[in-house]
Structure 1
Amino acid sequence: MSLLSAENVSVTLGAQPVLRDVSLSLDPAEIVTIVGPNGSGKSTLLRTLLGIVPVEAGRVRRAPRLRLGYVPQKLALDPTLPLPVGRFLSLPHRRSAADIGAVLARVGLPGVERRMLSGLSGGQMQRVLLARALLANPQAILMDEPTQGLDQPGEAAFYRLLEEVRQETGAAVLMVSHDLHVVMAASDRVVCLNGHVCCEGAPRVVSNAPEYRALFGEGTRGALALYRHHHNHDHDGCDHA
């Protein structure tokens, strides 16, 4: 059974149709990435799945008592606010020092509890946001452009961390990304969105789909992989809209 799914979902913001008849599912321990051009509705779909944006038609289904973690694109924080990492991770629910220390070590940032958020690099901040999501012991983690602003080594390191987290915790990951090349190696399944689902399937299938190449160009075929790993399950189908 899917942890989370959209079934023929349509969304209009203001008078502007943003999503049209979109269906998508996330299964346990699966990494699914949503790609698409700017304005294709990627972030809106994520917010709809989170229940932040209401659906106009269709429905969103969640497994009973589903524990969700969320990693936003960025955090709107006053840079002058003296907020240590440990304190941030205790908001809004108080967490023990042991739990905070353990989750920071898990994301590769041991001992940063007393460092100020404002002093972190972009990559460190994304790892702290992932740590915050992991404190909820999530069954599924939703991420909006988690590596925006990172260089390629930083992107690859973050995706490797996600794979480790998935293997250790069994959490599924659904993320929106612009990092086409790395994403193709980091995902079990890719959903290409442009207001509707243009194409969906295993990365190697999607990268060869005419709908994908029409959006992103011929140069994306055989997308560059900074690392590769093998998955136990592979979706070979590409669903054409």
Structure 2
Amino acid sequence: MSRSVLVTGGNRGIGLAIARAFADAGDKVAITYRSGEPPKDLTAAGVLAVKCDITDTEMVEQAYKEIEEKHGAVEVLVANAGITKDQLLMRMSEEDFTSVLDTNLTGTFRVVKRANRGMLRARKGRVVLISSVVGLYGGPGQANYAASKAGLVGFARSLARELGSRNLTFNVVAPGFVDTDMTQVLTDEQRANIVSQVPLGRYAKPEEIAATVKFLASDDASYITGAVIPVDGGLGMGH
């Protein structure tokens, strides 16, 4: 049966791969995006693209209303939208810190809370939060980003306990280094240095993250909740 799926930050990179995976499976997919334009092939395939800044509660509400009107209540939510503002601690401004937390952690709170309205009424729902190996492993110059991504783990596990009896699952996917536009701007030397730290010796493909997310939203994962699944080539093992 075709489900109503929402992927935040679904216009590029990991989010785009996730949106395509669900659309290819026949689900009714909506994405939110903050800037730029979603790929034409995505909208041509029937994916609903809604402009939304998840730091704005009213925009989140309006986005959900549009999605619910066209696709019905959201049954699968993938909270993927996020930003980085890397800086060494002594140079990091308070705005650098709080803006990353507001998007990556509080923004996730906003979209999850709103999705839960329909999920609680239906007594079923799947929520997958996209964290990062950095949230568990740490990264110099990324105290703000790591804190926001680590916070997603406590958030998901608290909700897994709070709402498990309502047949809602909450899981976290923690990608490692993924071959996206964001990482393609790195120099060959930087890329080689990163790959040298990964036991599997390569970057992940966005589609590999998408496959794990799709699994967590499937019937095969109906007894998995509160899990943190690394898709990082072994980079963060033990963390």
Q: Under TM normalisation by the shorter chain, which class is it? A: 0.3 to 0.5
Greater share of helix residues, 1 or 2?
2
Q: TM-score, normalised by structure 1?
A: 0.33
Indicate the structure (1 or 2) with the bigger Cα radius of gyration.
Answer: 1
